[in-house]
Amino acid sequence: MDLTLIVVLVITLALFFDFTNGFHDTANAMATPIATGAITAKKAVLLAAALNLVGAFLSTEVAKTISGGIIKEGEGGVQIMPEMIYAGLMGAVIWNVLTWLLGLPSSSSHALFGGLIGAAIVGAGLGAIDYGVLMSKVLLPALCAPVIAGVSAYVCTKLAYAITKRQSGASPKRGGFRYGQIFSSSLVALAHGTNDAQKTMGVITLTLVAAGMQEAGTGPHLWVITSCALAIALGTYTGGWRIIRTMGSGLTDVKPAQGFSAEVSTASAILASSHLGFALSTTQVASGSVIGSGMGRKGAEVRWGTAGRIALGWLFTLPAAAVVGALAALVMHLGNAGTLVVSVLGAGILLVFWVLSRRDVVGHDNAISDIDSSGAAVKILSKKERRKREKAAKAAAKEAAKNNAKKNPTQGAKK
């Protein structure tokens, strides 16, 4: 196949993966504020999309990790061909859409790494992978980051409830966390853009280097950054409602103080990782934070069955995507016919997933009905509204006392 054509195909599929990454990971930033009623669903996805777009321009360290790190390239390294990158992307896209269909918040990042690694091994052998980079910048962060974020969210939640505690009843101070969630969830969306959009930038850059269209060791071009930023923002705007439903109430019933603590912990971990060039899974970090915040609130219930199902998804994501990527790479060895077969089969599988999703449509209207309605219970009332309600309550109590006196005149006379 003509080199330019396969490069165009890879870039197109990479941007589609970026799009799926957007709607797959919207829940990381916006599930908890939607669950607590801090922001409406439509406003949430719009805000997340805008901040994903901005965040994509803030750093390129993660992109460099992928374009010149995990898969060896350039002088002295093993050159992976664009056909293999196409096969790897197909594995990542299929796994991403499957887990979205199941409402499972798996890692888009690990799906991408798995697909590329499987295809690279088939196409260029075991020596194509830089295992040191894979271990230090992908696997170790994948194990440590969710735990660190979970512990951080646990401590923050404990502190939030301790600071706002009062002797009887819920503290009105806690209502402020509901507004704080808008800021903290925005920070997560910004962090998501700085980390996840870069992964597609890295793949496209790797493709250009492999095709001899870009010098090895250089970062992504501006047009690559811009196109990836737009793709992930558009995907985020579509809303990953199935996964929002799982993250919003599937792990634990989220209150505003919890949500704020979880989001701050998630954003801190992701931003630090982006700065260090760690290709982190925002889904794993966000899930760890939500679980930690649930453990930190007294009386909250963490649904460990759902957490276990998510953990299994994490465990199988990288190897499952690697297997699909490797199979696609084997077929790609057939040349033009192989590329056609992979493209048609991939499109057919995605079409089947989409048809299946139409049987149980989940959108902003019915996803919210399944999410905990705790936001209504913590709705912040204005001073005027509170005085009005207090006055109505006093009037009702006085009326009840009068009615009671009429029914029991002798008791009233003794008084």
Which residue has better confidence, 12 or 76?
Answer: 12
> What is the pLDDT confidence band of residue 10, given thresholds at 50, 70 and 90?
very high
pLDDT of 22-66, one tens digit each? 877 766 667 777 777 778 878 888 888 888 888 888 766 666 666
pLDDT of 165-182, one tens digit each? 764 455 555 567 777 888
Question: What is the identity of the amino acid at 71?
Answer: I
Residue 398 pLDDT > 90? no
Q: What pLDDT, on a 0 to 100 scale, did the predictor assign at position 377? A: 34
Instruction: Express the helix, strand and coil content of the chain in percent, nearest 5 each.
Output: 80, 0, 20
280: closest CA among 183, 375, 182, 138? 138
Report the chain's mean pLDDT, rounded to a whole number.
77
Residue 399 pLDDT > 70? yes
Q: What is the DSSP string of 237-276?
A: HH--HHHHHIIIIISBPPPHHHHHHHHHHHHHHHHHHHHH
Residue 156 pLDDT > 60? yes
Tell me if 251 sits within 8 A of 112, measured CB to CB: no
Pick the range with the lowest mean pLDDT from 40-44, 80-84, 346-350, 384-388. Answer: 384-388
Q: What pLDDT, on a 0 to 100 scale, did the predictor assign at position 94? A: 93
Model pTM? 0.72
For 295, the token pair is: 């453990």
In the predicted model, what is the mean pLDDT of residues 292-307?
78
Q: What pLDDT, on a 0 to 100 scale, did the predictor assign at position 376? A: 37
Residues 157-173 as b/e (b if ≥16 CB within 10 A, e otherwise) read bbebbeebeeeeeeeee
CA distance 370 to 248: 9
To the nearest 10°, report the CA torsion of 294, 297, 144, 371.
Answer: 20
Tell me if 181 sits within 8 A of 267, measured CB to CB: no
CA distance 92 to 106: 11
Residue 209 pLDDT > 60? yes
Tell me if 238 sits within 8 A of 23, measured CB to CB: yes
Tell me if 93 sits within 8 A of 120, measured CB to CB: no
Q: What pLDDT, on a 0 to 100 scale, did the predictor assign at position 341? A: 94
Which residue has better confidence, 34 or 222?
Answer: 222
Residues 6+ apart with CB under 8 A from 384: none
The 3-state DSSP class for residue 168 equals: coil
CA distance 29 to 194: 13
Which residue has better confidence, 74 or 81?
Answer: 81
255: closest CA among 368, 186, 178? 178
Report the percentage of the chain scoring pLDDT > 70.
Answer: 77
Report the percentage of the chain scoring pLDDT > 90.
Answer: 12
Question: What is the identity of the amino acid at 284?
Answer: Q
The DSSP H or E segment spanning 371 is: none
Q: What pLDDT, on a 0 to 100 scale, did the predictor assign at position 78? A: 42
Residue 118 pLDDT > 60? yes
> What is the pLDDT confidence band of residue 245, given thresholds at 50, 70 and 90?
low
In the predicted model, what is the mean pLDDT of residues 371-390?
48
> What is the pLDDT confidence band of residue 130, given thresholds at 50, 70 and 90?
confident
Q: What pLDDT, on a 0 to 100 scale, did the predictor assign at position 316? A: 85
Find the radius of gyration of the CA atoms of the chain: 25
40: closest CA among 231, 192, 185? 185
372: closest CA among 267, 279, 290? 290
Most confident of 145-149, 177-181, 334-338: 334-338
Residue 224 pLDDT > 80? yes
Pick the range with the lowest mean pLDDT from 39-53, 84-98, 210-224, 355-369. Answer: 355-369
